[in-house]
């Protein structure tokens, strides 16, 4: 085996790569990492690498922001150029999740006849208006090794005619949470991040263009926040900062700068509930045994909906408030593996690429 080439570009992928890269290293599987630069703000990128001790990338493409087509196109060009100038082609190219970096990496590898490994395969929101949905569908259909987080992913791939090279390994984000949450508590305290007190605030992250770029949706969300009794802490994504600060904000809403992964772990551990339109935070809230209110009309993580641990509200004030005022109806049960997904992935890669 020459080496695995890993493509990442967004901070959830940095977290996933941290644990999978360590597992690859434990089995002496060589790896090179390319950071596309899709997330380029320090708090959204560099600090994650520093905290999680991810191997230094062989290259940062520095793509930055842009339209989906522009961003993906530049990534395709630069990734292909990098791979072709290397002394030898990688044994396989690995991508995570559903970003433009994921699709670009998978397409380049496929065109160069390099096997594609997709971590977090088989997820579907069934909403093709979401760019992420297109990215994940296309990536799955050109991948050679597909690692799913649950049986639902395996079943969905089978419905789409994909059964070869499919493995249910659980979720590497759970590995990361188990690995880093205790370290985070030792390195960061709640008072380092906010003056809000334990169990006295709701943590929120709202960043999807369908919510933040739609004036009516954003107003509905602000209306919901104003009707919630608890204080709400919102670490604001850089692209939305100016837009949010121009709004008439509810008195109970506390804005903050973006937070690191360790800081997010501490906030999750100390908050009362979570309101989000993120994908990954839905799972992390569940693993932290925090009720989640998802400001979307669909979720890829349908298992979290059982027992109202996670509730879909869409950007509708009344539904958001009603969900916040409810509580889970069932006991918490483990979802998405037991925390060994990364080592399972490394072992399968080693076996599959030798066969």
* Res. 354 pLDDT band, cuts 50 70 90: confident
What pLDDT does residue 128 have?
Answer: 93
Looking at the predicted structure, is the pLDDT value of residue 42 above 60?
A: no
Averaged pLDDT of the chain? 93
Residues near 307 by beta carbon (within 8 Å), at least 6 away in sequence: 328, 329, 330, 331
Q: Are 83 and 112 in contact (CB under 8 A)?
A: yes
Whole-number Cα distances in Å, 294 to 71, 98, 173, 313, 316: 28, 18, 18, 6, 11
* Active-site hit among 42, 68, 118, 207: 207
What pLDDT does residue 40 have?
Answer: 56
Question: What ranges do the domains of the chain cover?
Answer: 4-171+337-352, 179-324
| High-pLDDT (> 70) share of the chain, % | 97
Looking at the predicted structure, is the pLDDT value of residue 341 above 90?
A: yes
> Which of 15-19, 41-45, 138-142, 280-284 is predicted with the least confidence, judged by mean pLDDT?
41-45
Concerning whether 207 is annotated as a catalytic residue, the answer is: yes
* Res. 43 pLDDT band, cuts 50 70 90: low
Report the pLDDT averaged over residues 297-310.
96
Q: Which CATH number fits domain 4-171+337-352: 3.40.50.300, 3.40.50.2300, 3.30.70.20, 3.40.50.2000?
A: 3.40.50.2000
> Which of 30-34, 50-54, 67-71, 204-208 is predicted with the least confidence, judged by mean pLDDT?
50-54
| Gap between the Cα atoms of 49 and 21, Å rounded | 12
> Which of 49-53, 56-60, 299-303 is predicted with the least confidence, judged by mean pLDDT?
49-53
Sign of CA dihedral 37, 40, 42, 48: negative
What pLDDT does residue 56 have?
Answer: 84
Q: Can 4-171+337-352 and 179-324 be said to share one CATH topology?
A: yes
Q: Looking at the DSSP assignment, which residues form a beta bridge with residue 145?
A: 117
Residues near 295 by beta carbon (within 8 Å), at least 6 away in sequence: 206, 211, 221, 275, 276, 277, 313, 314, 315, 320
- Lookup result for tokens 């997010």: 264
| Gap between the Cα atoms of 350 and 126, Å rounded | 33
**Higher model confidence: residue 353 or residue 160?**
160
| High-pLDDT (> 90) share of the chain, % | 81
172 closest CA partner among 22, 60, 302, 34 = 22
Looking at the predicted structure, is the pLDDT value of residue 210 above 70?
A: yes
DSSP 160: T
| Gap between the Cα atoms of 291 and 177, Å rounded | 17
- CATH homologous superfamily of 179-324 equals Glycogen Phosphorylase B; (3.40.50.2000)
Q: Are 272 and 230 in contact (CB under 8 A)?
A: yes
97 closest CA partner among 75, 128, 120, 76 = 120
Both tokens of 348, joined, read: 């399968």
Looking at the predicted structure, is the pLDDT value of residue 104 above 80?
A: yes
Looking at the predicted structure, is the pLDDT value of residue 48 above 80?
A: no
Looking at the predicted structure, is the pLDDT value of residue 245 above 90?
A: no
How buried is 219 (Cβ within 10 angstroms: 0-12 exposed, 13-18 middle, 19+ buried)? Answer: middle
What pLDDT does residue 57 have?
Answer: 87
């Amino acid at each position: 085996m020459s080496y695995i080439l890993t493509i990442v570009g967004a901070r959830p992928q940095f977290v996933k790569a941290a644990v999978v890269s360590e597992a690859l290293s434990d089995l002496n599987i060589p790896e090179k990492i390319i950071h596309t630069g899709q997330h380029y703000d320090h708090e959204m990128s560099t600090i994650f690498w520093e905290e999680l001790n991810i191997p230094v990338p062989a290259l940062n493409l520095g793509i930055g922001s842009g339209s989906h087509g522009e961003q993906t196109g530049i990534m395709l060009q630069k990734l292909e150029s990098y791979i072709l100038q290397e002394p030898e082609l990688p044994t396989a190219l690995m991508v995570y999740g559903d970003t433009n970096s994921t699709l670009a990496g998978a397409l380049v590898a496929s065109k160069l006849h390099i096997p594609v490994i997709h971590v977090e395969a088989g997820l579907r929101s069934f909403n093709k208006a979401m760019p992420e949905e297109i990215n994940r569908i296309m990536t799955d259909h050109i991948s050679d090794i597909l690692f799913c987080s649950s049986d639902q992913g395996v079943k969905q791939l089978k419905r789409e005619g994909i059964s070869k090279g499919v493995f249910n390994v659980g979720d590497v984000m759970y590995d990361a949470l188990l690995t880093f949450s205790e370290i985070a508590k030792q390195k960061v305290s709640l008072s380092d991040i906010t003056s809000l007190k334990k169990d006295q605030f709701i943590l929120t992250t709202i960043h999807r263009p369908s919510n933040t770029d739609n004036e009516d949706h954003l107003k509905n969300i602000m209306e919901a926040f104003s009707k919630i009794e608890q204080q709400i802490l919102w670490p604001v994504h850089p692209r939305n900062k100016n837009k949010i600060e121009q709004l008439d904000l509810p008195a109970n809403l506390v804005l903050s700068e973006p937070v690191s992964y360790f800081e997010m772990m501490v906030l999750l551990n100390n908050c009362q509930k979570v309101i989000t339109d993120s994908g990954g935070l839905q799972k992390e809230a569940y693993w932290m045994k925090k009720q989640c209110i998802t400001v979307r009309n669909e979720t890829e993580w349908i298992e979290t909906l059982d027992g109202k641990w996670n509730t879909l509200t869409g950007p509708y004030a009344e539904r958001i408030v009603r969900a916040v005022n409810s509580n889970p109806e069932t006991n918490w049960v483990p979802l998405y593996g037991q925390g060994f997904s990364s080592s399972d992935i490394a072992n399968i890669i080693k076996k599959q690429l030798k066969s």
